[in-house]
Structure formats: structure tokens, C-alpha cells
Amino acid sequence: MRVLHLSTFDIRGGAARGTYWLHQALERRGVESRMLVGRKYGSDASVSEPPRPLNRVVNALRGRLDTLPLRRYRPTGESFWTLGWLPDRIDSAIDALDPEIVHLHWTGGGFLSIESLARLKRPVVWTLRDMWAFTGGCHYTAGCERYALACGRCPQLRSDREADLSRRLWRLKQSSWRDVDLWLVPISSWLADCLERSGLFPDTPVEVIPNGIDTGAFRPTDRAEAKAAWDLPADRRHILFGAVDATDDVRKGFHHMVEAARLLARQCWSKRAELVVFGGEAPSDLADCGLPIRSVGRVDDDAALARLYSASDVMVVPSEQEAFGKTLVEAMACGTPVVAFASGGPLDIVEHGRSGYLAGLGKVEELARGIAWCLEDPARNAALGRSARVRAEREFEIEAVAGRYQSLYHQILSRAP
């Protein structure tokens, strides 16, 4: 069985790393798996870039050129956009590798054009890691439901025209993908529900398969030792928050984290807890949130990240729209309770009251209450952490996820000709 994974990157970013972990797990299961990426950062020989001159320079330019048509509008900046209009020759690179199945993952940023899918001439499995497949260009809709109506009058473009860029891209997807031998795999039930409402794939097979993680790499370690390794004071409770794109992406809910921290400070948690920020520098807006702040920056090493999860007493992901929530699963695998809004991917991940706490969407008081609930009783915190680990092992272990994909591949290839 020969499977080729297409991804914009190999190990840079959460979606890319998830793709690479799946690729490795499939190799361990005997699948002849390869990756074709727009830009390669690792050294794995089974990962390659399209063989074109000045490849990295070209790809860097493609990412910028892809969004040029947006300059005709005044985008709100609520979501990343991929227009997928630039021509590519990805089909020739795929033909040279001769896979039996092409498996698409996150291919935004100009790596893959909309029309190129129709030229693949092979069964295509597409793991949907956000909403882009069924929208007019945005990766998240920020609550807009117009993708169910073929887009147009796009609020993110500040457009009042029906036949705007979003409508044209939606129609281009509809016409280009009509005859593709396609199998869609949304990573959460919420994303599957959104997909069903879109009407873009009326007869396409759909199967929900979650993201997987390596629960051997992400595993609990002694909390006191982990705190010491990160130079965190042992007498404080630590609230972990990921700051990647925190101030650039409204969907990430950074403003909710700030307000929740202020509420906790009013409850005297400022003397007992610290907010630990990773993934980027602590945004300046956090400076007056009332809680002490520790910024540890970007953490690219999985072992170091696992220790950081273990050192933390609770992980908070206040996103308003989240297709999955990989950091939630990673934290749970390390025995750390999690707090999130009861919306999107977290609904599939967090068992409210058992592995963490789910607050009502946008209800900051509930978010703060959930954080305090996870922190205030050490015995409860430990029990939540144990349940979180069990759930991560049972539902999100990468080997089991790879097995589900392997079964899907077999199902596709065993169809009668």
C-alpha cells in the first residue's frame, strides 16, 4: 500500500507535526508512506519537496502571491485566508512518486491550487483540520454561516456584493471537485456538522477521525521535578496558556484569557498562582491582568513541552472556534487537567468534570470558575489529571489513529473496479 501525504510543511506548526506523526505511525504499521511538502524543515528522507528550481524561494513567494486578490478588499483579519488560485505542477511530482492513495492534510499558503485536485487521478483522502475546504477562502468563519449558501457578501472581506471573491472561490471549488474520487475526514464532530451544512460535498463519504499524539512522548512526570526543571516556584499553582498568534487571531480567545485572569486575581489567586505563557512572548495586554506572568517563549522540543505540561496545574484553551485542540490532548496525556469552552473540537476531547472543565461559549465567569475549580483542591486536581491521561491514551493515541486510517485506505483500495 503506497500512500503520499501532501502538507505545506513537514514539522513546522501543529498541523504539520500531526501529519508527520501519522506518517511515521503508518510506516511502523508497514504502510509505504511518504510526504510531499511545500517546505521541508526536517531531515527525514521519506519527506521531499517538489523538484523545481529555487524551490524555497518560489514557495515563500507563493504564500504572499496567493493572497494578493485580498488587496481589493479590507479584510477584518479574523481568520487566515488561502485563495488557492496560483497554478502548480504538483500532479507531475505526485506521478513521479506513484502512490495508490493521495492523502491531503493542511495545504494552505499557496502550496496547492483548488483546480489541481481534479488532476490527481487517484483516490484522495482529505483530513480536514479547519473549515477551508467548504468556505470561500477563510480557514475559520468567525461565526458566519454563509458558507452554507455558497458564500458571497463576506463579512470578513467587508463585502456587500453577492458575487464577491468568496462566492467565486466557493463556486470554483464546486466545479473543480465535482468528479474527484474523494473521502473526507474531519478531525472532530463539530467540523463534520459544519461540513454537512455546507452543501459543497453532498455525496462524498465522510468519517470523523481525531488527531493523534504520541502518548509515549507526552506522558506524566513528577510535577515537583517538572516545576524545578522549568524554574517554576513549587509553592505556586501554574495556569498554562498558549500564546501562538494570540493577539493576531481573535478566534484564539486571548481577550477571554485576560478577563478570566482578572477575575481570578480578584479572588486572591494572584498570591497563589501564576500564568505561564508559551508558544510566543506574553502579549503586552497580559501585563495588567492581575496575575504574575511567566513567559517561556517558543517550545519546539517535545520532551521539554511535555515537562511544561506536567509542571502546570491546569491548561487553558479559550478559543471561540477550534476544529480540534491538540494542545488540550497533549496536556491531558501529561496528566494535566484542561479548561476550554464547550464549543468545537473540545467537545470531543474534554469530559466535563472528569478530565477538565467546559465553560459556556464566551462566558468568562464560567471560564474563571473552571480554572479555580481545577486548582483549589489538590486531590481533585490529581484525580482529574489521572482521568485525563486515561482518556488521552484511549481515544487519541497515534498508533490507534493510524490504524483507523489504514483501515480506511484498505476500504478504498478494495472497492470493485
What pLDDT digit, counting tens, does each position of 223-255 carry? 999 999 999 999 999 999 986 765 566 788 888
> For residue 286, what pLDDT is reported?
76
The model's pTM = 0.93
pLDDT of residue 19 exceeding 60: yes
> What domain count does the chain have?
2
Is 348 a domain residue? yes
Same domain for 264 and 124: no
Same domain for 133 and 270: no
Is 117 a domain residue? yes
> For residue 55, what pLDDT is reported?
58
Domain that holds residue 232: 223-396
> For residue 178, what pLDDT is reported?
93
pLDDT of residue 328 exceeding 70: yes
pLDDT of residue 283 exceeding 60: yes
Is 328 a domain residue? yes
Q: Averaged over 181-189, what is the pLDDT? A: 98
CATH of the domain at 22: 3.40.50.2000
pLDDT of residue 363 exceeding 60: yes
Same domain for 314 and 195: no
Residue-wise pLDDT for 136-167, tens only, equals: 999 999 999 999 999 999 999 999 999 999 99
Is 140 a domain residue? yes
Residue-wise pLDDT for 72-86, tens only, equals: 999 998 889 999 998
Terminal alpha carbon distance of the chain = 17
Is 218 a domain residue? no
> For residue 288, what pLDDT is reported?
82
Is 266 a domain residue? yes
